[in-house]
Structure 1
Amino acid sequence: MAMSRKKMLLFFMAITTLSFLLHQSGHLTWYTKPFHFGCFHQRATKEKRTEIVFLKTHKTASSTVQNILFRFAEKNNITVALPIHGCDHQFCYPGNFSKKFVHPYTIPPHIITNHMRFNFAELQQLMPNNSVYVTILREPVAMFESLFSYYNQHCQSFKRVPNNSMEIFLSNPLKYYKADERYSMYAHNTLVFDLGGDKDHSPLDEEYINSFIKQIESIFSLVMIAEYFDESLILLKDLLSWDLDDILYVKLNMRSKESKHNISSDIPQKVQKWNAFDAKLYEYFNNTFWKKVQSFGPDCMEKEVQLLNQSVQKLMQDCFGGWPQLRSSAQIKNKELRPWQPSSEVSIIGYDLPVNSNSVATNYCLKLVMPEVQYSRYLLRKATIKIRKKIPYHQMRKPIVSLQKQKSAARVNHLVRNSPVKYRTKKNK
């Protein structure tokens, strides 16, 4: 009798285990070693964090981080704050962020990640109290070269420079730079501006700069560094108690080689002088970043990065049959995967899915390489469908949608009329 009970218990355990494995097989997994001896951190004892504010800075690999957050939110059925139609796919940047810029169908949100100019007070009113604040910075010289190339036909301070020459601009920036012009924030201390600071404040005012840096440090739990992207993702994973699968990625929103400027030997010093505030910001948080790496454990970091790279390679094999080939927008057959082109002077390259891609993985792989604009619109469509299922059509459309559009349009028009910086619209985009 005792033996029979033992057999029944073993049979029950076997069925339970098999059921669990079959359930897990429905979720795509690209890594096989979730734990490392001596490198285990918070994941075993804490639930995954889902309340996240990611300040998406310009030309810092932030689009890749945003895609990670979008996929995590969709996988876990988490609401992402998205902009109203009048703001396009950004929160009416470069205006200071306001919760009024958030589409009502995406309230209350758990994650916010589209471009905005940081406004802590407004975000506190919108986001949960326990939200984790994260952003990313890039070395100012490489970032300025990218900004100069990407926004050359939008930023008047760049556009008036003869021969599209970064060297000429940097030889005398004040000759071309106008602080109150359209898109002037792309030409001077862009990081500081995105973080809500005064881009034109004197770099000699150490008190202001130090105060600003300390304020950012007190708000943001992690400031990622673009040059050490994989290490940054490992720290992000640890901070949020996520799994390795949650941070797998493909680089997005990259320029072609032909769209990049050569950086001569005298350029770095001139950029750092012109963008002195950005340079000090980067230097400070680069130092704090490596302190976090040291606290995490350099050996553990090396092992985690190695596992991340192996998992990404496995993912690339499953999605693309190898490392994906970069293509120009015109070469990409799927219009949902064509990246936005800032001008005819710059080529932003992207990816296309192979015709014979794994059918089980196709949807995941599609989202993996989907550009920001299309993914934002897709998530808003999903949120709209979800709301419409809850509210009867005759009660919802006119009183909610029309009124919201009126309020949103009035708010945006008011800001345009009263702001020295003009808002980006689909026409001038």
Structure 2
Amino acid sequence: MGTDDVEGEHSAHRIHSSVRQMKKKICLVLLVVCMVTLLLRWTMETSMETSNLNFFSPCSQPSPGLKPKQTNVVFLKTHKTGSSTMQNLLFRFAERHNLTVAFPIKECGHLFCYPRSFNTSFVLPGTLPANIITNHMRFNHDEVRVVMPHNSAYITILREPASMFESMFTYFKEICESFKNVNGSLEAFLKEPQRYYQPNEPFMAARNALTFDLGGDKDRPETDAAYIRDFVAEVESSFSLVMIAEYFDESLVLLRHLLSWDLEDILYVKLNMRAAGSKLSLAPGLTAKMRAWNYLDTKLYDHFNVSLWRQLAALGPACVAEEVSLMRQAQESLMQSCFGDRMPQLRSGKLIKNKRLRPWQPRNVDILGYDLLANSHGSSSQDHELCLKLIMPEGQYNEVLLDRETQRFS
């Protein structure tokens, strides 16, 4: 081998060695870059997660994309419990999200042939398949499940039985046969309720109305402890949430978390309220008598009142208080954006000339509604219509929404 050949071999060796060293350096640099990139990405993601946890705390609306909104809802609308306000909220939710609401057939009016037990034949075929059902019915779980999606959330609302019974008596004393013969005296009825009570009358308002609406036996003896226990358990297994009228805002906090809704989805205006003059002043001892007469409703209410506060405690008192405060602020802002300095006036329904806003007036009972001043409207005709829906009474909103459903599917 010549000298030139040896030098060439050495030169090639040095080149290969340099290349290998260069490759090692490049690999090392790439490794460092990858590690730094991974570290930065982990730091950013951790920071974002921490930020999201702070922003989307249990007291804030759920993080978008984590869980979709529940849009299939069964709301059992019980009598004189604030359920008209809840129905309005659900109607507006349905319109905003282009959902279908199940309505009763014409023969049933605005109720699913109440007080008959709910049957699938009571539903207007043109409003099926439905996302939401909320008109008055006597609950029949098996039949409701036939017409509603299997993943529907079941919600209802209860009210303290004594205050509810006073409201029922005042509201329905001209309709309910059991109330008619006491000359408007709640005291007289409660002194001898069995004398006046007609268990088979068409309108079931005179005893354990909550139990009846929920599909139970309103006349089951109080001594039948097993039935009462089993019925409470049945309601608990059927409903995802039992709201309490006296704690309506707190109940809505639970509803929002259950359904993964936004804050705007639970904003409301109170509807179907009686004027102060239509409320009875109760003599001492009447509250206890009303609770005793409605013993099944009392058992239901007491059980689910405790249940509600157990669920609220799980969220945390500070969390619930914060959400309630935010909701009330948002409601004020919504009304301000809708009506500005021309807010709707709460007044007797008898004085409201606008038929779209005049609530139904039972005989001898003054139901309040909202009256609009001249030129009260939002920034557009569409805004105006949406704002009207906030304060629209139950009967009129039923007609508007049913007409919308009919046009959609005709």
- TM (normalized to structure 2)? 0.83
CA shift in 2, pair 1:187/1:38, >3 Å = closer
Which consecutive unaligned segments of at least 5 residues does structure 2 have?
1-53
Q: Give the corresponding residue for 1:240.
A: 259
CA shift in 2, pair 1:43/1:159, >3 Å = farther
Q: 1:119 aligns with which of 130, 136, 140?
A: 140
Does structure 1 conserve the Cα–Cα contact (< 8 Å) formed by 2:359 and 2:367? yes
Q: Give the corresponding residue for 1:161.
A: 182
In 1, Cα distance between equivalents of 2:228 and 2:395:
34
3-state SS, counterpart of residue 255 of structure 1: coil
CA shift in 2, pair 1:111/1:316, >3 Å = same
Q: Give the corresponding residue for 1:39.
A: 59
3-state SS, counterpart of residue 326 of structure 1: strand
Deviation, 1:335, is 0.6
Q: 2:385 aligns with which of 363, 370, 377?
A: 363
Q: 1:338 aligns with which of 355, 358, 366?
A: 358
Q: Give the corresponding residue for 2:273.
A: 254
Give CA-to-partner distance per residue, 1:91-149, whole Å, 9 cap, x none. Answer: 01000011111111101101000000000010011100000000000000110010000
Moved over 6 A (4+): none
Give CA-to-partner distance per residue, 1:2-25, whole Å, 9 cap, x none. Answer: xxxxxxxxxxxxxxxxxxxxxxxx
Is residue 312 from structure 1 mapped to residue 331 from structure 2 by the alignment? yes
CA shift in 2, pair 1:35/1:88, >3 Å = farther
Deviation, 1:71, is 0.2
Q: Give the corresponding residue for 1:393.
A: none
Does structure 1 conserve the Cα–Cα contact (< 8 Å) formed by 2:350 and 2:361? no
In 2, Cα distance between equivalents of 1:38 and 1:368:
27
Does structure 1 conserve the Cα–Cα contact (< 8 Å) formed by 2:131 and 2:148? yes
In 1, Cα distance between equivalents of 2:409 and 2:158:
36
Q: Give the corresponding residue for 2:124.
A: 103
Q: Where in structure 2 are the equivalents of 1:343-358 lying within 5 Å? A: 343=363, 345-357=364-376, 358=378
Is residue 133 from structure 1 mapped to residue 172 from structure 2 by the alignment? no
Deviation, 1:321, is 3.4
Does structure 1 conserve the Cα–Cα contact (< 8 Å) formed by 2:58 and 2:315? no
Q: Where in structure 2 are the equivalents of 1:150-229 lying within 5 Å? A: 150-162=171-183, 164-183=184-203, 185-229=204-248
Is residue 147 from structure 1 mapped to residue 162 from structure 2 by the alignment? no
In 2, Cα distance between equivalents of 1:241 and 1:70:
17
Name the amino acid aligned to 1:74. E
In 2, Cα distance between equivalents of 1:93 and 1:330:
27
Instruction: Work out which structure has the larger RCO, using CA pairs closer than 8 Å and 6 or more positions apart in sequence.
Output: 1
Is residue 65 from structure 1 mapped to residue 93 from structure 2 by the alignment? no
Which consecutive unaligned segments of at least 5 residues does structure 1 have?
1-33, 389-429
In 1, Cα distance between equivalents of 2:185 and 2:150:
46
Does structure 1 conserve the Cα–Cα contact (< 8 Å) formed by 2:345 and 2:372? no
In 2, Cα distance between equivalents of 1:209 and 1:175:
25
In 2, Cα distance between equivalents of 1:103 and 1:170:
40
Deviation, 1:355, is 2.3
In 2, Cα distance between equivalents of 1:42 and 1:311:
17
Is residue 325 from structure 1 mapped to residue 345 from structure 2 by the alignment? yes
Q: 1:374 aligns with which of 396, 400, 405?
A: 396
- TM (normalized to structure 1)? 0.80
In 2, Cα distance between equivalents of 1:85 and 1:113:
16
3-state SS, counterpart of residue 371 of structure 2: coil
Deviation, 1:182, is 2.5
In 1, Cα distance between equivalents of 2:333 and 2:61:
24
Q: Give the corresponding residue for 1:31.
A: none
Deviation, 1:36, is 5.6
Q: What percentage of residue pairs aligned between the two structures are identical?
A: 55
Does structure 2 conserve the Cα–Cα contact (< 8 Å) formed by 1:91 and 1:97? yes
Q: 2:310 aligns with which of 278, 291, 297?
A: 291
In 2, Cα distance between equivalents of 1:249 and 1:40:
18
CA shift in 2, pair 1:123/1:168, >3 Å = same
Q: Where in structure 2 are the equivalents of 1:50-61 lying within 5 Å? A: 50-61=71-82
